[in-house]
Copies of this chain bind each other. A is one copy, B any other.
Amino acid sequence: MLDTICTAQSDIVEAYRFVRDRSLKLIAPLSAEDTVVQSMPDVSPTKWHLAHSSWFFEQFLLSSQCGYEPLRPGWQFLFNSYYESVGPRHNRVQRGLLSRPTLAEVIEYRHRVDDDMAPVLDRAASDPELAALINLGLHHEQQHQELMLTDIKHVFSVNPLEPSYQREAPFGLPGHALPMRFVRGSAGIVEIGHHGEGFAFDCETPRHRTLLHPYEMADRPVTNDEFRDFIRDGGYRTPSLWMSEGWARAQAEAWAGPMYWDAQAETEFTLAGRREIDPYAPVCHVSYYEADAYARWAGARLPRESEWEHLTETRVDVDAQLRAANFADAGFLHPQPAQRDEGLLQLFGDVWEWTSSPYVNYPGYKPLPGALGEYNGKFMCGQWVLRGGSCVTPVGHLRASYRNFFYPPDRWQFMGFRLAKDA
């Protein structure tokens, strides 16, 4: 379904159905109770994700229609995430206090939205602007599909019973020790940013010139085994390796390894429950601070996002990599060891890769008009760019120019990293 999401206006009906159905498939393993809990402020209850991604269509596609009545009074307030222009909203940290609407009511709401969207989808066939807006809603829902998985993993992790999302998780792929090779990129003025064909978020635009200094980038992410060397070598006890605020956070929260790892660095909590750590899989659930400290320890650095994007665009068959990547639809829902031994590996899928680039606007950036301008632009302060996608990203959601962004201490997403060096 990769192409469905990214391309043709004529396929919008099919894409809509595919994406919307996929959200409901994701909750199959969950009880109604599971969909209520907010285990920390960053996490949203599953029920909230289901409602909010439907609210997005109601708000931005249905509510502008003549004669529109809110489908469920009061729900706009509950399921607006952060759109100040749209009106007041429920306090984010209190999402877990809402037992109502129930999961069944939320699902019924989704169906009503879908029913009301039918004529809109029809009109979109001949209205490119409308189609673009629907497409935005679908990519938005895909983002929440990823969050549903990262969030439920956290919800389950704080339960001493350690429930499992995947009752029958597939066996992991076989791995083996691969040397880390560095690939040299071309320096000089290059272009990055979305090239304009197919869907992109506004923050990926405009395509613009940037200056690359001589550099090289690792052919694959850092693995669990490599990260264990850092731990054993006292990485978490050596302040000179860390950014000042990273060190402070690591001390305050007593970090001694990636999130979800046990104290012995032997097992990790996964969506299939507690499992042995695969030494050859990319390390996951580390903060920017940990990635940066590891890189310093290794005598390297994190890549700039411009380096990552340009090298990816010029050195690999992006479509082929996207098709082969370990995304959510592969069913593992966990990073897997690299499966090939040459070229740039695992650029997409498995783990989001922290870069050394603060998330700021590109030269000439213009946010979308109106409330949708709040989608990305207002977050361009204090966060860091990650590239490439993870094992819980929906297939069909990504591009080489895709910019994900989180705060430096965040660890609950499927975050890893790859090294780079000045050349």
- When distances are taken between beta carbons in the complex, the residues of chain B under 8 Å from A100 are 31, 33-34, 156, 159, 161, 163
A6 within 8 A of B: no
Q: Is B99 in contact with A96, judged by CB distance below 8 angstroms?
A: no
CA distance A244 to B378 in the complex (A): 5
Q: Is A84 in contact with B161, judged by CB distance below 8 angstroms?
A: no
Quick one: which of B99, B160, B379 contacts A155, CB cutoff 8 A?
B99
Q: Is B36 in contact with A242, judged by CB distance below 8 angstroms?
A: no
Q: Is B408 in contact with A381, judged by CB distance below 8 angstroms?
A: yes
A246: nearest residue on chain B (CB-CB)?
B381
Which of A12-20, A56-64, A217-225, A358-366 has 4 or more CB atoms under 8 Å from chain B?
Answer: A358-366
- When distances are taken between beta carbons in the complex, the residues of chain B under 8 Å from A39 are 97
Q: Is A363 in contact with B84, judged by CB distance below 8 angstroms?
A: no
Q: Is B33 in contact with A422, judged by CB distance below 8 angstroms?
A: no
13 A-B pairs within 8 Å (CB atoms) are namely A33-B36, A33-B47, A33-B103, A34-B100, A35-B99, A36-B36, A100-B156, A100-B163, A189-B211, A244-B381, A289-B381, A358-B358, A363-B422
A123 within 8 A of B: no
- When distances are taken between beta carbons in the complex, the residues of chain B under 8 Å from A422 are 363-364
CA distance A213 to B96 in the complex (A): 46
Cβ contacts A369-386/B at 8 Å (1 or 0 each): 000011000111110000
CA distance A100 to B30 in the complex (A): 10
Interface centre among A82, A208, A358, A380 (most CB of B within 10 A): A358
Q: Is B378 in contact with A243, judged by CB distance below 8 angstroms?
A: yes
CA distance A36 to B32 in the complex (A): 10
Q: How many residues of A contact B (CB 8 A)?
A: 63
Number of copies: 4
What 8 A-B pairs are tightest by C-beta distance, nearest first?
A84-B239, A358-B358, A211-B211, A34-B99, A243-B381, A244-B378, A33-B99, A32-B32
A155: nearest residue on chain B (CB-CB)?
B99
Q: Is A240 in contact with B84, judged by CB distance below 8 angstroms?
A: yes
Cβ contacts A76-104/B at 8 Å (1 or 0 each): 01100010110000100010111111110
CA distance A247 to B83 in the complex (A): 12
- Given the known interface contacts A100-B159, A160-B74, the answer about A37 and B36 at a Cβ–Cβ threshold of 8 Å is yes
- When distances are taken between beta carbons in the complex, the residues of chain B under 8 Å from A245 are 381-382
14 extra A-B contacts, CB within 8 A, seeds A85-B239, A243-B380, A292-B381: A31-B99, A31-B102, A32-B33, A33-B100, A36-B37, A77-B160, A84-B239, A96-B97, A99-B163, A100-B163, A210-B211, A240-B374, A243-B381, A244-B374
A181 within 8 A of B: no
A8 within 8 A of B: no
- When distances are taken between beta carbons in the complex, the residues of chain B under 8 Å from A363 are 213, 422
Cβ contacts A177-192/B at 8 Å (1 or 0 each): 0000000000001000
Chain B nearest Cβ from A397, distance in angstroms: 23
A323 within 8 A of B: no
Which chain A residues in 1-44 approach chain B with CB under 8 Å? 31-37, 39
A240: nearest residue on chain B (CB-CB)?
B85
Cβ contacts A395-420/B at 8 Å (1 or 0 each): 00000000000001000000000000
A239: nearest residue on chain B (CB-CB)?
B84
Interface centre among A39, A160, A374, A380 (most CB of B within 10 A): A160
CA distance A34 to B35 in the complex (A): 11
Q: Is B360 in contact with A97, judged by CB distance below 8 angstroms?
A: no
